[in-house]
Amino acid sequence: MSEYRFEALARLDGMTEGRVGGGCLQLVTVCLSDERAGELCDEHGRTVAPAPEVLAHLRPSEARELAFCLLELAELAERRSTEEGW
């Protein structure tokens, strides 16, 4: 099952992960939402519930890896769109 979210943002909102030996690691929160539509529909298109936000709390290394992956995919998508005339 897949659901669509049309808005994405990242923030530091105070989420941390404890470290062995003490201290904390600041996590990056990624939020996917859809304030425009903001609803889930049944098979007939009737609204049944608001679409919940999707949150992920990533370690800095994971956030960096995701960022690089998104940049690569964005460049590839733009290149394909230009080449194929979309």
What single letter denotes the amino acid at residue 32?
L
Closest CA to 13 of 33, 29, 24: 29
**pTM score, whole prediction:** 0.70
Q: Are 51 and 38 in contact (CB under 8 A)?
A: yes
End-to-end CA distance of the chain: 27
> Is 73 within 8 Å of 31 (Cβ atoms)?
no
pLDDT in tens, 10-60: 999 989 999 999 999 999 999 988 765 556 677 887 776 666 788 999 999
Asked whether the CA dihedral 55, 61, 67, 70 is positive or negative, the reply is: negative
